[in-house]
């Protein structure tokens, strides 16, 4: 079966027209609700909180909530829409904090909040959005509060771990995967879990989709790691080597370091240098990495994770919802080729 391309306006591949239309309609309701949830009694706070929301985004997490809810008999419930807002507000809040940590100046094609205002405003705006997310979670009941609190703690833990080098004797690759599981995987897993919970799916399906979300969330980030090295700017629209230039560790680089031999001396020299200082050195590093066995090792890891994610879907009945989840895993695996 060929893998369908994502439908226009949706960040997930959906081949069934009726399912696609339902998701688009409900996502429009989520978008409208989000615009209300970022409002404050203070106009300046509203402007700051709406800044990244209005800059756009794929809305992948709320869409995953809506799709997972299709596994139950309450897919159109108000709680599902509220849960979709919870995960997107949490994600948006984390972006404000990420941009401060990364000293980013652009986010989603617009000035980052810290660049437009300052770090204090960006941090406090992120806190405001986390608070809004918590308010909505409380409306969903104590189980949702417990899940959200654990997810939030794991997300922040991942952000903190990203700033720290692995301890002596620890595997840098394992450290990196643990960071990604916290920063990205946990909120994707929570999105799938909330959708199943509040959509009325069985406990078995809820657990299956939570495991699926945990795997694909982390693996999709790793596929971005690979594309940062392998992509052609004319094809992907992304500038290759951005992470290398900024000194951000990625899975292919860490795997290349782990398996380096004497023949990789020049590559290691480049990786240890300031690649932001020389376009020629950056281009050479990209060339060497693209030819390195670590690239195929990283791709094989993502393909394996895609297979593992699809295996989690066994409890879901056959149909367009399961097809969409499987197709996303396939896209995740194939986009690194």
Same domain, residue pair 106 and 142:
yes
Same domain, residue pair 148 and 54:
yes
Q: Measure the CA dihedral 150/155/159/161, to 10°.
A: 50
Q: How far apart are the first and last CA of the chain?
A: 18
Q: Confidence class of residue 49 from pLDDT cuts 50, 70 and 90?
A: confident
**pLDDT tens-digit series, residues 142-168:** 999 999 999 999 999 998 898 888 888
Same domain, residue pair 156 and 211:
no
Same domain, residue pair 65 and 156:
yes
Sorted by sequence, the CB contacts under 8 Å of residue 158 that are 6+ apart come out as 178, 179, 180, 181, 182, 183, 184, 186
Rounded average pLDDT over 280-298: 95
Half-sphere exposure of 256 (CA within 13 A, CB side): 30
Q: What is the percent of the chain with per-residue pLDDT over 70, rounded to a whole number? A: 88
Q: Measure the CA dihedral 70/75/79/84, to 10°.
A: 40
Residue 97 lies inside a defined structural domain of this protein: yes
Residue 130 lies inside a defined structural domain of this protein: yes
With 70 as the cut, is the pLDDT of residue 106 above it?
no
The C-alpha atoms of residue 82 and residue 161 are separated, in whole angstroms, by 30
User: In the structure encoding, which two tokens stand for residue 167, read together?
Assistant: 């301890």
What per-residue confidence (pLDDT) applies to 120?
Answer: 80
What per-residue confidence (pLDDT) applies to 6?
Answer: 44
What per-residue confidence (pLDDT) applies to 268?
Answer: 95
Q: To which residue do tokens 């984390």 refer?
A: 94
Q: Measure the CA dihedral 141/144/145/146, to 10°.
A: 120
Residue 78 lies inside a defined structural domain of this protein: yes
Same domain, residue pair 190 and 317:
no
Rounded average pLDDT over 51-68: 87
Q: pTM, whole model, 2 decimals? A: 0.89
What per-residue confidence (pLDDT) applies to 110?
Answer: 63
DSSP strand E in 52-149: where?
106-107, 110-111
Using alpha carbons, list the distances in angstroms from residue 335 to 177, 273, 316.
Answer: 19, 29, 25
Range of the structural domain that residue 324 is part of: 202-336
Tell me which range, 98-112, 226-240, 291-305, is most confidently predicted by mean pLDDT: 291-305
Q: Confidence class of residue 8 from pLDDT cuts 50, 70 and 90?
A: very low
Same domain, residue pair 224 and 167:
no
Q: What SS3 state is found at 90?
A: helix
**pLDDT tens-digit series, residues 189-239:** 999 999 999 999 999 999 999 999 999 999 988 998 898 898 765 444 457
User: In the structure encoding, which two tokens stand for residue 210, read together?
Assistant: 């939570």
Same domain, residue pair 160 and 246:
no
The C-alpha atoms of residue 295 and residue 225 are separated, in whole angstroms, by 10
User: In the structure encoding, which two tokens stand for residue 12, read together?
Assistant: 């997930």
With 60 as the cut, is the pLDDT of residue 116 above it?
yes
Domains in the chain: how many in total? 2
Domain boundary, last residue among 172, 201, 230: 201
With 80 as the cut, is the pLDDT of residue 286 above it?
yes
Mean pLDDT of the chain: 88
CATH number at residue 40: 1.10.600.10
Residue 127 lies inside a defined structural domain of this protein: yes
Residue 7 lies inside a defined structural domain of this protein: no
Residue 10 lies inside a defined structural domain of this protein: no
Residue 300 lies inside a defined structural domain of this protein: yes
Same domain, residue pair 217 and 136:
no
Domain boundary, last residue among 171, 201, 231: 201
Look at 124 and 19; give whichever has higher pLDDT: 19
In DSSP notation, 279-334 reads HHHHHHHHHHHHTSHHHHHHHHHHHHHHHHHHHTTTTSPSSHHHHHHHHHHHHHHH
Using alpha carbons, list the distances in angstroms from residue 74 to 77, 277, 317.
Answer: 5, 55, 16
Domain boundary, last residue among 152, 175, 201: 201
Q: Confidence class of residue 112 from pLDDT cuts 50, 70 and 90?
A: low
Residue 1 lies inside a defined structural domain of this protein: no
Same domain, residue pair 191 and 122:
yes
Same domain, residue pair 190 and 207:
no
Same domain, residue pair 50 and 123:
yes
In DSSP notation, 200-260 reads T--HHHHHHHHHHHHHHHHHHHHHHHHHHHH--HHHHSS-TTHHHHHT---HHHHHHHHT-
With 50 as the cut, is the pLDDT of residue 1 above it?
no
Same domain, residue pair 178 and 240:
no
**pLDDT tens-digit series, residues 129-142:** 999 999 999 999 99
Q: To which residue do tokens 């809810």 refer?
A: 69
Length of the chain: 337
With 90 as the cut, is the pLDDT of residue 178 above it?
yes
What per-residue confidence (pLDDT) applies to 7?
Answer: 44
Nearest to 288 by CA among 307, 269, 306: 269
Tell me which range, 120-129, 173-182, 222-231, is most confidently predicted by mean pLDDT: 173-182
Half-sphere exposure of 55 (CA within 13 A, CB side): 17
């Amino acid at each position: 079966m060929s893998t369908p391309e994502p439908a226009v306006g949706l960040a997930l591949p959906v081949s069934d027209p009726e399912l696609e239309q339902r998701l688009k309609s409900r996502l429009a309701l989520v978008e409208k609700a989000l615009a209300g949830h970022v409002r404050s009694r203070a106009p300046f706070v509203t402007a700051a909180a709406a800044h990244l929301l209005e800059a756009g985004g794929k809305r992948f997490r709320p869409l995953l909530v809506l799709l997972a809810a299709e596994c139950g008999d309450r897919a159109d419930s108000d709680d599902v829409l509220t849960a979709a807002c919870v995960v997107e507000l949490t994600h948006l809040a984390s972006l404000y904090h990420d941009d401060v940590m990364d000293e980013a100046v652009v986010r989603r094609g617009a000035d980052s909040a810290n660049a437009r205002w300052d770090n204090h405003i960006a941090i406090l705006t992120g806190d405001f959005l986390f608070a809004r997310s918590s308010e909505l979670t409380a409306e969903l009941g104590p189980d949702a509060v417990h899940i959200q609190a654990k997810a939030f703690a794991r997300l922040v833990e991942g952000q903190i771990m990203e700033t720290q080098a692995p301890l002596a004797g620890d595997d840098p690759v394992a450290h990196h995967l643990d960071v990604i599981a916290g920063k990205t995987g946990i909120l994707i897993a929570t999105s799938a879990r909330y959708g199943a919970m509040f959509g009325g799916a069985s406990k078995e399906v809820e657990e299956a989709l939570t495991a699926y979300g945990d795997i694909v969330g982390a693996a999709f980030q790793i596929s971005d790691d690979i594309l940062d090295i392998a992509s052609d700017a004319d094809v992907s629209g992304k500038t290759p080597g951005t992470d290398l230039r900024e000194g951000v560790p990625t899975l292919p680089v860490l795997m290349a370091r782990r398996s380096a031999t004497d023949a990789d001396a020049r590559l290691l020299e480049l990786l240890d240098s300031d690649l932001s200082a020389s376009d020629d050195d950056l281009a050479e590093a990209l060339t060497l990495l693209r030819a390195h066995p670590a690239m195929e090792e990283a791709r094989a890891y993502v393909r394996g994770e895609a297979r593992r994610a699809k295996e989690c879907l066994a409890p879901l009945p056959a149909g367009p919802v399961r097809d969409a989840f499987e197709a996303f895993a396939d896209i995740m695996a194939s986009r690194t080729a």
